[in-house]
Every structure is written in C-alpha cells, then in structure tokens.
Structure 1
Amino acid sequence: MPAIILRNATPDDALCIGVLGMQVFLDTYATQGIRNSIANEVLEAFAPSTIARLMAEPGTSLIVAESHNHLVGFAQVKLNASHAMIEVANVAELQRLYIQERFTGLGIGYQLLQAAERCAARAGACMLWATVWVGNERALGFYPRRGYEALGSPTYTFQGETHGNRLFGKTLSVTAP
C-alpha cells in the first residue's frame, strides 16, 4: 500500500479536490455515459470556486488523503446536518467520501471514514450519516461493514432528476474537544 497522509484540506487544495471530485463523480454516476444533467451537476458541484466556498463554510470540514504529494481521496463532513429520517439531534453528515479508482480497496476509504467520524465526534455529533446511490454497489457494502446501520431509502434530486438512495448512520462516542 502506498504511504498515505491524511490532513485537513487547505485553500490551495481546492483545484485538486475539484478535479478529483469530478473524476470520481463521473466514474460512479455516469455509468451510461455523459448527458446534460450529469455534465451540469459535475461542473457546478466541483468547480474550484465551489470547493473553496465549501472549505470556508463554518461547520464544513474537508479531509484529504495524499500519496507522494498527490491527492487520492477526500471526505467532506457537514456538522449539525439533520435528516428527515433521523430523529436524533446533533448529527453530522458525511457528504462525500471519494477515492480515486486506482486507490480503492487499499483501506484509504476506511481511514478517511475514521477521520470523518473523529471530526464529527470532536464537534459533539452523536451520529454520522451518509446517503448512498442505489447503483453504487461498492458503497452499499462498505458502510455496513464499517458499523453503519441502514436507516431508510430517501431520494436525491439534482438537475431535475430524482434518484434512489440508501441512508446509513452510525452512533458515535462523543469526545471532548
């Protein structure tokens, strides 16, 4: 396994996070090719200016995985992110856990997930939750193996299209700041 360093993202990472996000998004969601809705979503969601704004948002953390000074993955955590299907207060959302394809299966996703859990717990969140597209078989198997419980089947709408998802959550042990 390559040497991996996890660290908090800095503003200088916005470009690489954006491009990495585009690559992973397209590998995951553009399984039948590119159409306008996918192209528009990826360009809007991962523009470097969008990533820079996310990093500046209070309560949003981006953690990057780096190998030999190259970004290979990242996790995006949003604190105080409630969900209609979760009745517990003070929860955090794992908004993205993206690993470049050639680095999957090496434990990097698990390392980033653990870092995201620690980030949420340090901020006082009692649960970390994530939604997974029903077509993402790898992620649908990943979260239950890491102690996440299936909590429901919400939908997600982008660019006027609605897609089925699965909601997963894990209770965290809140740690002192």
Structure 2
Amino acid sequence: MDQITIVKAGADDLTTVQQIGRETFFETFAAANTEADMKHYLTENFSDAKMAAELNNPQSHFFIAWLGDSPVGYMKLNTGKAQTELQDPTSLEIERIYVKSEFHGKKVGQLLYDKALETAQLEQKTYLWLGVWEENPKAIRFYEKNGFVAFDKHVFKFGEDEQMDIMMRKML
C-alpha cells in the first residue's frame, strides 16, 4: 500500500471533508439506526453551512488522511469553546476520527490519532478526551490501546433515539 499522508485541512477542503464524513458515518452507524434518523443527521451535520463554520473555526483543527490523491479519512480536534462538552482550556477534544471502512486495520486511524497527540503536545495540553458510542467496541478498544480510560458517560441524541457515549480521557 502507498504511504498515507496526514494533511491539515482548511476551508478549501469543505467538499472532501463532507464526502468522507457522510460516507464513513453512514458505513459505521446506518445498520444500527433508522433510515430517517440517518438521513436527517447526515443532512444537518454535514451541510455546507455547518461544515464551513467548523472548518473556519480557529479553535477546531481538521486533518485529512490521503492515500495518493484519494482521501481515506479525517479527524476533527477542538480546543477552548469549540469543545463539545468540557471546554477545559488545558484539554484537546478528539471529536471525530472517521476512516473509510476499506481502510480499517491499515493504521489510518492510528496515524490520525498520532497527529492528535502531536497537536496536544505542541499546544501544551494536559489531556486528550473524547466521546465514543458504547455500541462501538472496535473504537473503544482502539482508544484503550492508546491509553484512554473511561471517566463519564453522556447522552448523544440521534434523531428520536437517545444513545450513550462513553467519555474517555488520556492524561499527557
């Protein structure tokens, strides 16, 4: 396999990030959710306006994983007020690591995570944190393998369904 490269994304990458986001979210969560909830979530959360605002937020960082000219995954990190919950100035949130299913097990997620760790260290953060759906054991194992531990839970509203996310943290 060719070399995977991780590149910081900007406003010009809107279409690429939307495409990867929609595709990977659908691959990962469609089987466990209703078609109506899935369609609503994808339309609302990957709209031009919402994604452009996220990409232009100086407290969020996006990175795209490329295999040659093909995007195969992306990551969104948040600091300060961009964080979805804790908003602790000493922390960095990993809001999303999305990798196309055909690239699972090929270290793309690990490379993106390594970039998150590097970013946290450059910004002198004391810990990384994230929320992961309790029904996603593969992701939970990935984060545990990278030194994260559960510290709380929160409800993630997906359409009419209330789902539970495990909140995990890694001290640096």
Q: What TM-score do the two structures reach when normalised by structure 2?
A: 0.90
Residue 104 of structure 2 corresponds to which residue in structure 1?
A: 104
Residue aligned with 1:154, SS: strand
**C-alpha deviation, 1:124, in angstroms:** 2.8
CA contact (8 A) 1:74 1:112 kept: yes
What is the Cα deviation at residue 54 of structure 1? 0.7
Contact 1:14 1:49 in 2 (8 A): no
In structure 2, the partner of 1:175 is none
Q: Deviations over 1:98-144 (max 9, x none)?
A: 00111110111011001012112222321111111111121011100
Identity %: 22
- Which has the larger helix fraction? 2
Of residues 70-79 and 119-128 in structure 1, the stretch that sits farther from structure 2 once superposed is 119-128
In terms of mean alpha carbon deviation, does 74-83 or 95-104 score higher? 74-83
Is the Cα contact below 8 Å between 1:79 and 1:120 reproduced in 2?
A: no
Q: Does 1:140 align with 2:112?
A: no
Kept after mapping to 2: 8 A contact 1:82/1:89: no
Instruction: Give the letter aligned to residue 92 of structure 2.
Output: A
Name the structure 2 match of 1:79.
79
Contact persistence 1:62–1:74 (CA under 8 A)? yes
Preserved CA contact (<8 Å) 2:3 2:68:
yes
| Residue 29 of structure 2: aligned partner | 29
Query: Over residues 18-53 of structure 1, what are the superposed CA-to-partner deviations in whole Å (9 max), with x where a residue is unaligned?
Result: 011011111111114642222111111112332221
Distance 2:65 2:134 in 1: 26
User: Are the counterparts in 1 of residues 92 and 125 from structure 2 also a CA contact under 8 Å?
Assistant: yes
Q: Distance in 1 between matches of 2:33 and 2:155?
A: 22
Q: Structure 1, unaligned stretches of length 5 or more?
A: 173-177
- TM superposition shift of 1:89: 5.4
Contact 1:77/1:120 (<8 A) preserved: no
1:166 alignment partner in structure 2:
166
| Root-mean-square deviation over aligned CA pairs | 1.9
SS in structure 2 of the partner of residue 153 of structure 1: strand
Aligned pairs, number: 170
SS in 2 for 1:31: helix
Listed as ranges, the gaps of 5+ residues in structure 2 are none
Q: Name the counterpart of 2:122.
A: 122
- Report the Cα distance in structure 2 between the residues aligned to 1:89 and 1:56, rounded to whole angstroms: 19
| Deviates further, 42-51 or 134-143 | 42-51
Partner of residue 65, structure 1: 65
